[in-house]
Amino acid sequence: MIYILDAGKPLIIDFSMLQVPVNNIEFKQKFSTNEQCLQFLTELRNKYRPFLCLNCEGKKAYKAYIVRNHNFECSGCHRQESILSGTIFQKSRIPLKSWLEAIWRITEQPILRKAINAYQLQKKYHIRSYKTAWVWQNNIRRIMIHPELDRFSGTVVSDRREIIVPGIRKNDTQKESNVLITVVLEITGNKAKKIRIGIMNDRSRDTMHNFSRNCVIYGHSISDYHVGKPLESVIIDLNKWIKKFPPKSYSLRRLQPYFDEYAFRYNNQNERDRGRLFDKLLKNAVQTEPVTYRDIIKN
Ligand SMILES: [Zn+2]
C-alpha cells in the first residue's frame, strides 16, 4: 500500500476536508479510497491533536514523503511520526476504508436498536480470523466513550444495581451471572439524558464513588437527587438490550466495553444528525490508543 500526500507541505488544517458526510451517498463519495480516508484523518488529527514533537517539543511539522509509513516530519529536528500514531487506527491491519465504514454504520438510526457484532464484522469485511474481528470490535467500542472527553455536568446522580447477564460464567455449570454495576446519570427533568455504566468489583461505597467521580468534570459534585425513576427506566431498557444483543463473552473483566457501547447508544438515541455523530466518534478515535489481543486478554 503506497500513499503520497502533499509531501513537503507545511501542516495547515484544511477545514474544507473536514466536512463530515450527512448521508450514505456523501459518505461513499468522500471515502471511496484509502487515500481519501487518510487525507481526512490527517486533517482530523491536526484539528483535535495538534502536532507536538516528542523529541524537541516543536509544534511545526511538514507532511513527509509517505511510502508505507505516512508521516509528519518535525520542521525543527526532522523527527518523523506516523500520522496515525496515538490514534485508534495505529498499526491496524484493517484498511482505513473499512474502519470508517464500520464507524459510519454505527450512526444508522435508530441507533439504540443495534449493537456491533464481531461475527458480522468478520463476514462483511472479509476478515480471515474471528480473533482479528473481535479485537477490532473491542477497538471500535473504545471510541464510543472517551473517559476524559465524555464527562458530565449539571445534575448528576449515581447508584448501584445488580443485573443478570447471560454468558458470563463464574464456573463451568453456571450459564449466567449477576453483575454489579454502578450507573451514573445526568438528569434533565425526570429523565436520564446521559448515562455511564461501570462494572463494580466489590460492594464498597468507595468503589462506586470513585467510578462516579471519574464520570463528571473535575470538581463537579454528585447530587443527592432521588435517583429512583430515571434509573429504573434505564435498567429496564438495558435489560431489553442485553436480551437482544447478549455480550457473547465469558469473562466479567472484558464486559466493560460492552456497557460503554450501550451508554453511547443511549446517550445519542435522539441525535438524528449522522454527520455530527460520526464526527463525535472520530474525535475520540484520533485521541484514543488502540488495544491488542494481548492487552484485552491480560485485563
Ligand atoms: Zn522535533
Q: pLDDT confidence of 137, banded at 50, 70, 90?
A: very high
Q: For residue 204, give the nearest of 269, 165, 240, 160 by alpha carbon.
A: 160
* 80 Cα: distance to centroid of ligand 1 (angstroms): 8
Report the number of distinct structural domains present in the chain.
Answer: 2
Percent of the chain with pLDDT over 70: 90
Q: Residue 96 is which amino acid?
A: L
* 56 Cα: distance to centroid of ligand 1 (angstroms): 4
Strand order in the sheet with 176-188: 155-166, 176-188, 191-199
H/E stretch holding 161 reads: strand 155-166
Peptide bond into 246 cis (omega under 30): no
3-state secondary structure of 54: coil
Residue 253, pLDDT score: 75
Tell me whether residue 233 is in a domain.
yes
Q: Are strands 71-74 and 155-166 parallel, antiparallel or unpaired?
A: unpaired
Q: Is the pLDDT of residue 4 over 50?
A: no
Q: pLDDT confidence of 35, banded at 50, 70, 90?
A: confident
Residue 3, pLDDT score: 43
Same-domain check for residues 159 and 252: yes
CA torsion sign for 23, 26, 28, 32 is: negative
Q: What would the mean pLDDT of 108-112 be, rounded to a whole number?
A: 93
Backbone angles phi, psi at 127, to 5 degrees: -90, 130
Q: For residue 121, give the nearest of 109, 107, 138, 108 by alpha carbon.
A: 138
| Residue at which a domain ends, from 121, 142, 163 | 142
* 90 Cα: distance to centroid of ligand 1 (angstroms): 20
3-state secondary structure of 52: coil
Same-domain check for residues 137 and 160: no
Same-domain check for residues 19 and 138: yes
* 73 Cα: distance to centroid of ligand 1 (angstroms): 8
* 61 Cα: distance to centroid of ligand 1 (angstroms): 8
Same-domain check for residues 70 and 32: yes
pLDDT, averaged across the chain: 88
Kindly report which listed range (120-124, 164-168, 235-239) carries the lowest average pLDDT score.
164-168
H/E stretch holding 240 reads: helix 228-244
Q: Is the pLDDT of residue 19 over 90?
A: no
Distance between CA atoms of residues 161 and 227, nearest Å: 12
Backbone angles phi, psi at 264, to 5 degrees: -60, -45
* 181 Cα: distance to centroid of ligand 1 (angstroms): 45
CB 281 within 8 A of CB 103: yes
Q: Is the pLDDT of residue 140 over 70?
A: yes
* 3 Cα: distance to centroid of ligand 1 (angstroms): 23
Residue 235, pLDDT score: 96
Vertex 263 angle, CA 146 and 248, to 5°: 100
Residue 270, pLDDT score: 95
Tell me whether residue 76 is in a domain.
yes
Q: pLDDT confidence of 28, banded at 50, 70, 90?
A: very high
* 81 Cα: distance to centroid of ligand 1 (angstroms): 10
Residue 228, pLDDT score: 85
CA torsion sign for 28, 30, 36, 40 is: negative
* 57 Cα: distance to centroid of ligand 1 (angstroms): 6
Tell me whether residue 149 is in a domain.
no
* 146 Cα: distance to centroid of ligand 1 (angstroms): 28
Q: What would the mean pLDDT of 36-51 be, rounded to a whole number?
A: 89
Tell me whether residue 197 is in a domain.
yes
Same-domain check for residues 182 and 217: yes
Kindly report which listed range (124-138, 152-166, 215-229, 270-284) carries the lowest average pLDDT score.
215-229
Same-domain check for residues 136 and 159: no
Residues sharing a CB contact under 8 Å with residue 75, sequence separation 6 or more, in sequence order? 10, 58, 60, 61, 62
Number of Cβ within 10 Å of residue 260's Cβ equals 21
Residue 64, pLDDT score: 64
pLDDT digit string, tens, across residues 241-255: 999 999 877 777 788
CA torsion sign for 267, 32, 16, 68 is: positive
Percent of the chain with pLDDT over 90: 62
Give the distance, in angstroms, between the CA of residue 137 and the centroid of all CA atoms in the same chain.
10
- Burial of residue 208 (number of CB atoms within 10 Å: 0-12, 13-18, 19+): buried
Same-domain check for residues 76 and 138: yes
* Domain encompassing residue 253: 155-271
Same-domain check for residues 27 and 84: yes
Tell me whether residue 88 is in a domain.
yes
* 38 Cα: distance to centroid of ligand 1 (angstroms): 23
Same-domain check for residues 114 and 42: yes
* 63 Cα: distance to centroid of ligand 1 (angstroms): 13
Backbone angles phi, psi at 163, to 5 degrees: -125, 155
* 45 Cα: distance to centroid of ligand 1 (angstroms): 18
* 290 Cα: distance to centroid of ligand 1 (angstroms): 24
* 83 Cα: distance to centroid of ligand 1 (angstroms): 15
Residue in the block written with cell 455480550? 247
Same-domain check for residues 166 and 125: no
Number of Cβ within 10 Å of residue 51's Cβ equals 18
* 163 Cα: distance to centroid of ligand 1 (angstroms): 51
pLDDT digit string, tens, across residues 46-99: 889 888 899 999 888 877 655 455 788 888 998 988 889 999 999 999 999 999
* 66 Cα: distance to centroid of ligand 1 (angstroms): 18
Same-domain check for residues 182 and 263: yes
Q: pLDDT confidence of 214, banded at 50, 70, 90?
A: very high
Same-domain check for residues 106 and 212: no
User: Which grid coordinates belong to 90?
Assistant: 495505529
* 60 Cα: distance to centroid of ligand 1 (angstroms): 8
Residue 1, pLDDT score: 36
Residue 171, pLDDT score: 58
Give the distance, in angstroms, between the CA of residue 77 and the centroid of all CA atoms in the same chain.
33
